[in-house]
Amino acid sequence: MARVLVVEDNDLLRKGLERALKHAGYEVVTAEDGSAAVALFAPAGKASPGVDLVVTDINMPGTDGIELILSLRETRPDLPILAISGGGLLPMEHLLEDAKALGATEVLLKPFSMAIIVETIERLLR
């Protein structure tokens, strides 16, 4: 069973993604922002989450998704990363293009259906 880390500051979306991915057969670990996700991978922190894929929002307080992607690329260069965004100060398309250029394996624009995100994750894990 593949293990997915979901990093999303919106509680409702994070819990919805967790439910949908568990229903699809994945083991799910969650983090409410990029700082919490980075801490999961820190050697001094708890045991590494041992994830097979990361889904991360881009716009989050503190450590954002771009910073998380850059950090993960340093320590886990082959880890599939799915960046998701509904926009922010910059148009959504620019944020996702930047995420892709900086190391996201795939990007999805919010809003998306849970079926689409599950399908994307299945494709990335093949």
CATH code for the domain of 41: 3.40.50.2300
Structural domain harbouring 38: 3-125
Q: What is the mean pLDDT of residues 30-35?
A: 96
50-76 pLDDT, tens per residue? Answer: 899 999 999 999 899 999 999 999 988
Q: What is the pTM of this model?
A: 0.91
> Which residues have a Cβ under 8 Å from the Cβ of 39 and sit 6 or more positions away?
45
Domain count, the chain: 1
85-121 pLDDT, tens per residue? Answer: 986 555 556 778 889 999 999 999 888 999 999 999 9
